[in-house]
């Protein structure tokens, strides 16, 4: 692992955001497109792939296990897969950087293959617990040797043939669901995941698109996703829509900065990912969907967002799985709303790239935001649209979403806020800061 050099960034109030922005490709879909294409027999083509560090870690790992992955000069990626069951033994450790998605989903892939793999990651990823994936994969026959607390570095040995299981998710997690389904791809028989609370369904949509025998049915226990193992996947042409989690920062920025009027093009509108739009509209945000369409099986639209006064709400807890990555920037929106907003039911935030509840408390409170911390969320008393006092330093905790959320908050700060390190933003949105400058007419 290379040494890390912090990249500080200071920001204070700027003028309105104007123009059109195209956000990077959806991170969840980008990860899965590389993995599933790497398991198909034949050549897949992927357009719009997010080229952030997290997704590139997935590409490197799939290459290490035999897939041929190349980026063309036209920006289109081609993947020649090895076939389900034919992953090769990696010759070195799989370096995951900051990517929890890469780690958990690849653990699922490897669990039903006769190979041994070691996962390593950066300081932030190495703090994140992997037990919630280790438990079901162990039940399928994989063996694990991990650092204390089920953390990285971690070595696992897959079992082939693995044992199909019926697994009820103890927490709402698309990553755990996907890991079990991916292990089921090469497991004889039918592997089932019971999901009491629906989570993002990109894995189900894409696996069916690649030809897997996968069914989804509703039951009294929740959604039952069943996959028949020893699958044969066929290569696909994939167009990755814009990432709604990346679009979230511009939605909030335009909502809180007076005079703003922007269009965010080609945003994925999968209903398992649109919780933030629902919450912002409840607060009074002016967000209009334009040119709704379907691309590669995923709903897509352009979003026009104009500044509007926001009012406090109690965020419905059932929205949490559909906006779990967007809570930090929702907290920023609440900081500029009129009244006291309450967002609970999001205890999952405690085990993301950082403890995002604690991190946002430590970032917002010293900059003049009144709030109350709960185990599963925050209550925030907003400014009613007035500037945030600002002036205090911010620790990003190597978390890209904390860094970008507080950059958005800085757009409404009277005195500059200084984020200690924005380099982690490259994991998901390498062009974020140049885009921020362009939308606020700060071209170098």
Show the CA angle centred on residue 240, arms to residues 73 and 85, nearest 5°: 90
Contacts of 337 (CB under 8 A, 6+ apart): 283, 310, 311, 312, 313, 380, 382, 383, 384, 385
What whole-number distance in Å separates Cα of residue 50 and Cα of residue 444? 25
Is position 128 annotated in a ligand binding site?
yes
| 100 phi, psi to nearest 5 deg | -70, -35
Is position 177 annotated in a ligand binding site?
no
What whole-number distance in Å separates Cα of residue 61 and Cα of residue 31? 11
Tokens encoding 310: 């926001």
Is position 352 annotated in a ligand binding site?
yes
Q: For 358-364, which contacts have Cβ atoms below 8 Å and span 24 or more sequence positions?
A: 359/328, 359/395, 359/396, 359/397, 359/399, 359/402, 360/328, 360/331, 360/402, 360/405, 362/394, 362/395, 363/394, 363/395, 363/402, 363/405, 363/406, 363/409, 364/331, 364/332, 364/335, 364/409
To the query of whether residue 325 is one of the catalytic residues in this protein, the response is yes
With tokens 């996959």, the residue in question is 227
Is position 54 annotated in a ligand binding site?
no
Is position 205 annotated in a ligand binding site?
no
Is position 192 annotated in a ligand binding site?
no
Indicate which residue of 54, 122, 325, 421 is catalytic: 325
- Evaluate whether 28 touches 202 at the Cβ level (below 8 Å): yes
Torsion angle of the four alpha carbons 392, 396, 401, 402, in this order, in degrees rounded to the nearest 10? -30
Tokens encoding 320: 């949490």
Tell whether omega for the bond before 177 is within 30 degrees of 0, i.e. cis.
no
Is position 401 annotated in a ligand binding site?
yes
Bridge partners (DSSP) listed for residue 412: none
The DSSP secondary-structure symbol of 284 reads: T
Question: Which one, of 141, 229, 233, 231, lies nearest residue 189 by Cα?
Answer: 229
Is position 132 annotated in a ligand binding site?
no
| DSSP of 304-351 | EEE----B--EE-GGGGGGSGGGHHHHHHHHHTSBSEEEE-S-GGGGG
Is position 203 annotated in a ligand binding site?
no
Is position 173 annotated in a ligand binding site?
yes
Is position 438 annotated in a ligand binding site?
no
C-beta neighbour count of 266 within 10 angstroms: 21
Please give the annotated binding residues for 3-phosphoshikimate, written as ranges. 27-28, 32, 173, 175, 325, 352
Binding residues are: 27-28, 32, 100, 128, 173, 175, 325, 352, 356, 401
Active site residues: 325
Annotated binding residues for phosphoenolpyruvate: 27, 100, 128, 175, 356, 401
């Amino acid at each position: 692992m290379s040494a890390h050099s912090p990249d500080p960034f200071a920001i204070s109030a700027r003028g309105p955001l104007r123009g059109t922005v195209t956000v990077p490709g959806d991170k969840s879909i980008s990860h899965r497109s590389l993995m599933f294409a790497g398991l198909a027999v034949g050549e897949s083509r992927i357009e719009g792939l997010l080229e952030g560090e997290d997704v590139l870690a997935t590409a490197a790992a799939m290459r290490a296990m035999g897939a041929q992955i190349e980026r063309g000069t036209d920006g289109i990626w081609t993947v020649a897969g090895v076939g389900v069951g034919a992953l090769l033994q990696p010759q070195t450790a799989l370096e995951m950087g900051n990517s929890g998605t890469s780690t958990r989903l690849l653990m699922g892939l490897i669990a039903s293959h006769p190979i041994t793999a070691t996962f390593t990651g950066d300081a932030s990823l190495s703090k994140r617990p992997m037990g919630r994936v280790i438990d079901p994969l162990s039940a399928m026959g994989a063996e694990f040797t991990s650092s204390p607390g089920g953390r990285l570095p971690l070595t696992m040995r897959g079992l082939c043939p693995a044992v199909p299981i019926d697994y009820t998710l103890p927490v709402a997690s698309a990553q755990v669901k996907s890991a079990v389904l991916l292990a089921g791809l090469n497991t004889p028989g039918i592997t089932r995941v019971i999901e009491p609370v629906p989570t993002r369904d990109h894995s189900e949509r894409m696996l069916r698109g690649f030809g897997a025998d996968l069914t989804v049915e509703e039951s009294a226990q929740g959604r039952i996703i069943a996959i028949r193992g020893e699958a044969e996947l066929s290569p696909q042409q994939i167009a990755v829509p814009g990432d709604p989690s990346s679009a979230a920062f511009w939605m909030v920025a335009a909502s809180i900065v007076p005079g703003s009027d922007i269009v965010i093009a080609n945003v994925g509108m999968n209903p398992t990912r649109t919780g933030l739009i629902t919450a912002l509209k409840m607060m009074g945000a002016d967000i209009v969907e334009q040119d709704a369409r379907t691309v590669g099986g995923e709903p897509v639209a352009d979003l026009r967002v104009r500044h509007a006064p926001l009012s406090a709400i109690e965020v419905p807890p059932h929205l949490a799985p559909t906006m779990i990555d967007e809570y930090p920037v929702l907290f920023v929106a609440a900081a500029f709303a009129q009244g006291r907003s309450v967002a609970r039911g999001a205890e999952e935030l405690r085990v993301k790239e950082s403890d995002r509840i604690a991190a946002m408390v430590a970032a917002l409170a010293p900059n003049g935001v009144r709030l109350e911390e709960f185990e599963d969320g925050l209550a925030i008393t907003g400014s009613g649209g007035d500037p945030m006092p600002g002036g205090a330093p911010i620790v990003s905790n190597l978390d890209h979403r904390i860094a970008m959320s507080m950059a958005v908050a800085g757009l409404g700060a009277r005195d500059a806020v200084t984020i200690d390190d924005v380099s982690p933003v490259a994991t998901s949105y390498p062009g974020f800061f140049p885009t921020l400058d362009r939308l606020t007419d700060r071209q170098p």
